[in-house]
Amino acid sequence: MGLSSAAPKSAPSIVYEDDRLIVAYKPPGMLSHKDRKLTSEPDLLSEMARRFPRLEAADLQISTRLDFNTDGLVLLAKGKANAEVAGKAVARGLIRKFYHAVVLGYMPKPSDILIGYLLKDSESATVKISTLPIEGAMKIQTAYRVLREENGMSLLEIELLTGKTHQIRAHLASLNHALVGDPLYGYHNLNKKQKLKRQALSAVRLQFDVQAASHPWHDLNGRIFEKLNPELNAILQ
């Protein structure tokens, strides 16, 4: 079935690199960066410096973070100045982030933009989603397109139109379409029965939409970097 282990089975790899940025693949079971509470866990930044010694002095900074158990493409900037460019580009939607996810059930429409309001719960380290505005909540938008439906599950392509903590996982779970294998927002008994230990979620594509000729990364306009995870398709079988 796949997704049976939370430990990383592969090392990070470089999908693209220039003198400003790196698009890297982060395997599941790896932090994006160091965490003071999880000092024994491997992290992408440290592993990249160890695997590629020439990057040790590059002052790599994460620009698109992924959860510990989510695999896929991550954007890293070289140095503070490039990190600022990357951060603004992501915030303005100039770098589009696409995911594949396997969820329970069938979606009501072939494609849609889901709108909700996300509120962090610091005590439980989770988030809650409301369909109506509530005090302290942030508006979120999650676009999806159905790629495949089988055996009571759906494979979705998701674009994050906003990028908040656990947005994809919590948003879909709030609509009764929890990600298969999700230990936080999914169905514990079903995950245990299927021997799944992590969410069926992969960051499969980064797409650069930098049309302004004056932008320092305009030369990347139209570039698409993609790495698919075949395990997700296999879950539906």
**Whole-angstrom Cα Rg for the chain:** 18
Q: How far apart are CA 170 and CA 82, in angstroms?
A: 31
Q: Which of the two residues, 54 and 88, has the higher pLDDT score?
A: 88
Provide the pairing of β-strand 60-62 with 13-17. Answer: unpaired
**Dist. CA 80–CA 60, nearest whole Å:** 9
Q: How far from chain centre, in Å, is Cα 35?
A: 18
* pLDDT tens digit sequence for 173-228: 999 999 999 999 999 888 888 888 899 999 999 999 999 999 999 999 999 999 99
- H or E element: which one contains 99? strand 95-104
Q: Which domain holds residue 49?
A: 13-229
For residue 190, CA distances in Å to 102, 139, 144, 154, 217 come to 14, 30, 24, 16, 45
Q: Is residue 143 one of the residues assigned to a domain?
A: yes
> What are the backbone dihedrals phi and psi of residue 9, each rounded to the nearest 5 degrees, phi first?
-100, -10
Domain count, the chain: 1
The phi-psi region of residue 39 (left if phi > 0; otherwise alpha if psi is between -120 and 50; otherwise beta) is: alpha
Given this model, what pLDDT does residue 225 score? Answer: 98
**Average model confidence (pLDDT) across the chain:** 92
Secondary structure of residue 142 in the 3-state scheme = strand
Instruction: Indicate yes or no: pTM above 0.75.
Output: yes
Q: pLDDT value at position 2?
A: 55
For residue 21, the domain's CATH number is: 3.30.2350.10
Domain-located, residue 236: no
- What is the tens place of the pLDDT at every residue in 110-169? 999 999 999 998 888 899 999 999 999 999 999 999 999 999 999 999 999 998 999 999
Whether 1 maps to a domain, the answer reads: no
Counted residue by residue, the chain has a size of 237
Within-domain flag for 4? no
Residue 2 lies in a domain: no
What the block records as the tokens of 219 is 């030369």
Is residue 34 one of the residues assigned to a domain? yes
Backbone angles phi, psi at 81, to 5 degrees: -60, -45
Residue 234 lies in a domain: no
At 208, which helix (H) or strand (E)?
strand 201-208
User: CB–CB of 73/205 below 8 Å?
Assistant: yes
